[in-house]
Amino acid sequence: MMILQKPVILLFGKNGQVGFELQRALSPFGVVHAFGRQDCDLADLSQVKEIVRQLRPDIIVNASAYTAVDKAESEPQTAYLINSALPSVLAEEAISIGALIVHYSTDYVFDGMQPGWYVEDDIPNPQSVYGASKLAGESGIAATGCHNLIFRTSWVFGAHGGNFAKTILRLAKERESLSVIADQHGAPTSAHLIADVTAQVIVQYWNEVHRESFPYGIYHLVAAGETTWYEYAKYVIAYAEKTGIALRLKSSAIEAIPSINYPLPAPRPSNSKLDSGKLRKTFGLILPDWRQDMAHVLAKIITDQAS
């Protein structure tokens, strides 16, 4: 898609899974200034404000987050600072300079008790500190009245950083058996896909003549289809087996267990199925099936590990 004049884009969270991919996806379309923890103390909101005021970006992309779901239960102040106070401050700065803010949220804003798929208008009911802090971040952004796009996603994985797929591959080289939860449902979604969709939507925004009427707001952004952590693990192992890498674990040796057998400090939603229909229809996008999305990234993970 053509873009006439490149926007100045300020990216926070450059070293996370999504932030890493955003640098790749946004660079062709904008002048990207990317900040990570080594560049900026996100807990120092005055420092964050100063960066925004110096750069005066056209677009602020906040890919930073406190994502230690279980640790958040014992560190609620830190979780709320990064997941709520920070995006709220960024939104306030955005409205003062007329910038768009792009932010990422999570399936954890829902309690996971609803049958079927969650749409954007369903009532949130987070069951963990992490989920509650992310919902507070959404609300804080909306309360400023700034132009914003909030993408809720789930089960994020990527070639960069730690995630479930990489953990399964590591354990498959160490163990001959493994138990994985089979009663939580969702769609694994790659950081690569999230970044590419973000870039496409940003280009549509930047090329929009009448930005006041642009469809701002919350959108669900996940790969198509659904699975469980158990089926997800089996897919990863089966894919790895086809590549010929040495594994001790066979996909047939993975045991399905209920969540109750694997208690954690923070409860997980049993239903994390987010409906991306609004995103697809509004911006004319096609989102791949989670298996297709995953195969692309698994190939890179396995290649990187072999090199």
Q: How many distinct structural domains can be found in the chain?
A: 1
The CATH number linked to 34 is 3.40.50.720
Q: Confidence class of residue 1 from pLDDT cuts 50, 70 and 90?
A: low
Length of the chain: 307
Token pair listed for 97: 């300079």
- The answer to whether residue 218 is domain-embedded is yes
- The answer to whether residue 21 is domain-embedded is yes
pLDDT tens digits, residue range 110-146?
A: 999 999 999 999 999 999 999 999 999 999 999 999 9
Question: Does pLDDT of 4 surpass 70?
Answer: no
- The answer to whether residue 281 is domain-embedded is yes
SS3 301: helix
Residue 279: the pLDDT is: 98
Residue 305: the pLDDT is: 79
Domain that holds residue 285: 8-163+188-226+273-290
Could you give the residue numbers annotated as active site?
130
pLDDT tens digits, residue range 153-206?
A: 999 999 999 999 999 999 999 999 999 999 999 999 999 999 999 999 999 999
The mean pLDDT of 284-289, rounded to a whole number, is 97
- The answer to whether residue 295 is domain-embedded is no
Question: Does pLDDT of 3 surpass 70?
Answer: no
pLDDT tens digits, residue range 6-18?
A: 999 999 999 999 9
How much of the chain, in percent, has pLDDT values that exceed 90? 93
Question: Does pLDDT of 289 surpass 90?
Answer: yes
